[in-house]
Amino acid sequence: MALIFLCFFCFIAVSSGAVSNRIGINYGHLGSNLPSPAQSIQLLQNMSIGRVKLYDADHETLNLLSGKDIEVAITVANDEISGIAANQHLADQWVYEHVLAHYPGTKIRFVLVGNEVFTSINTPEDMQLARDVLPAIRRIKNTIKAQGIRNIKIGTPLAMDMMETTFPPSNGSFKPEIRELMVPLLRYLNGTRSYFFVDVYPYVTWFESQVWNQTAINLGFALLRTGNENYTDPQSGLVYTNLLDQMLDSVVYAMTKLGYDDVLLAISETGWPHEGESGANRENAAEYNNNLIRKLAAVPSIGTPARPGEVIPTFIYALYDENQKYGPNTERHWGLINPDGSPVYEVNITAGIPHMRD
């Protein structure tokens, strides 16, 4: 998320196979006024949150999550990736310290290697980092596999600026300069039945359509509102009722073009800001997140037009407003919860209470 607005003007499961559509949330802590980890974990429980994603692998938080029925995604920081990619010993050490020290008491289910590493590749160092992601994923996986652990999936969250085109969805394609990185990543994710994690923000696409184009995207379409004008993709004939499905399916088609048509999708971040630029207000944020939860929690699963019925693990962005984030005001107003623990607006997470499939 950090880069979404910085990059503003450049577009932008699970034990042995069983997946659930529990609602997940991103717990970032770049705020000076946030509740303690202990209070935060209690809040997650009070809210019936089924999954939490951390941008690190903080020991205190992982300890506090021990024994809780909350599945956890932990993150290898970008600046740890190249070391791990180059050295199995460092990978072993990372896994011992951050996974084995807490698992299985803490339900670690996802290890995410890096955050948006294919975004803004401008320098040779950026390119090296992007190239090191897959080797780092392999090394982490080696260590985890050697321990006989089978219910942790490993992947890397990528931002939608990896896309060259997203519209119509059937025309989705990755940027040419990252295709050589994408092919081996997809081969690996497919081979390990892991997820392709995407940070997907209909808000940003909608906002940009307002700024750039008077024939803007309909707000209701971006908010997952029912009863909108539908869009039929001329190539695939698929009917779209919302922008999120269009964006996700553009990724599905981009993968298909590279020969990988059944890599599973997960949404590592999505949400709607409640304050800031145009369209960022509590009413819209509540509508988006409640519609999102209703869609994700539906039984049987809805999926997308190109992936009907697929369960898409999703992490809402974010638990809190983070007042130490850079960028426009909007960047600091994605939270569901105020610093005092009260809701910023009403979100009915219990609509997405854990439902196990398989």
Ligand X SMILES: *[C@@H]1O[C@H](CO)[C@@H](O)[C@H](O)[C@H]1NC(C)=O
* Token pair listed for 278: 């145009």
Between 82 and 246, CB nearer to ligand X: 246
The least CB distance from residue 282 to ligand X, in Å, is 16
* Residue (46 or 329) nearer to ligand X, CB: 46
DSSP string, 299-341: SS--B-SSSBT----EEES-SB--TT--SSGGGG---SB-TTS
Task: Tell me if 173 contacts ligand X by CB under 6 A.
Answer: yes
Identity of the residue, 46 or 278, whose beta carbon is nearer to ligand X in the bound complex? 46
First-to-last C-alpha distance (Å) of the chain? 32
Min CB(353)–ligand X separation in Å: 7
User: Segment 273-292, which members bind ligand X (CB under 6 A)?
Assistant: none
DSSP assignment of 74-114 = EEE-HHHHHHHHH-HHHHHHHHIIIIITTTTTS-EEEEEES
Shortest Cβ 333–ligand X spacing (Å): 21
Does residue number 122 form part of the binding site for ligand X (CB under 6 A)?
no
The reply on whether position 210 binds ligand X by CB under 6 A is no
Q: Which is nearer to ligand X, 87 or 350 (CB)?
A: 350
3-class secondary structure, 144? helix
Q: How far is the CB of 289 from ligand X (least distance, A)?
A: 13
d(CA 116, CA 199): 8
Query: Interacting stretch for ligand X, rule CB under 6 A, among 49-57, 149-157, 307-315, 346-354?
Result: 346-354
Q: What separation in angstroms does the CA of 105 have from each of 71, 99, 102, 358?
A: 11, 10, 6, 23
Query: Which of 32/213 has CB closer to ligand X?
Result: 213
Instruction: Return the residue of 88, 147, 190, 236 that touches ligand X, per CB under 6 A.
Output: 190
Contacting ligand X within 139-168 (CB under 6 A) = 164-165, 168
From the candidates 71, 269, 287, 331, give the one annotated as an active-site residue: 269
Q: Give the distance, in angstroms, between the CA of residue 28 and the centroid of all CA atoms in the same chain.
A: 13
Binds ligand X by CB under 6 A, chosen from 46, 232, 329, 338 = 46
- Secondary structure element (H or E) that encloses residue 135, with its range: helix 124-146
Catalytic choice (71, 80, 116, 287):
116
Q: At its nearest, how many Å lie between ligand X and the CB of residue 128?
A: 27
- Residues numbered 215 to 274 that lie near ligand X (CB under 6 A) are 215, 229-230, 239, 241, 259-260
- Between CA 308 and CA 330 the distance in angstroms is 33
Q: Which stretch binds ligand X (CB under 6 A): 16-24, 40-48, 122-130, 140-148?
A: 40-48
Nearer to ligand X (CB atom), residue 259 or residue 300 = 259
Closest separation in Å from C-beta 225 to ligand X: 11
Instruction: Check residue 28 and give left, alpha or beta (phi > 0: left; psi -120 to 50: alpha).
Output: beta
325 to 344: interface string for ligand X, x by CB under 6 A = ----------------x---
Whether residue 97 lies in the annotated active site: no
Question: How far apart are the C-alpha atoms of 356 and 358, rounded to whole Å?
Answer: 7
Contact residues for 186 (Cβ-Cβ < 8 A; gap 6+): 196, 255, 258, 259, 260, 263
Separation between Cα atoms, residue 291 and residue 201, nearest integer Å: 14
Contact by Cβ (8 Å): 77, 156: no
Give me the least distance between CB of 196 and ligand X, in Å please.
Answer: 12
Task: Among 149, 351, 354, 355, indicate the residue that binds ligand X (CB under 6 A).
Answer: 351
In the structure encoding, which two tokens stand for residue 61, read together?
């938080």
**């990059």: which residue's tokens?**
7
**Residue 2 or 12: which CB sits closer to ligand X?**
12
Q: Is 277 a catalytic residue?
A: no
Structure tokens at 243: 């922008």
Which residues carry out catalysis? Answer: 116, 269
Q: Can you give the binding site for ligand X, defined by CB under 6 A? A: 39, 42-43, 46, 164-165, 168, 171, 173, 190, 209, 213, 215, 229-230, 239, 241, 259-260, 341, 348, 350-351
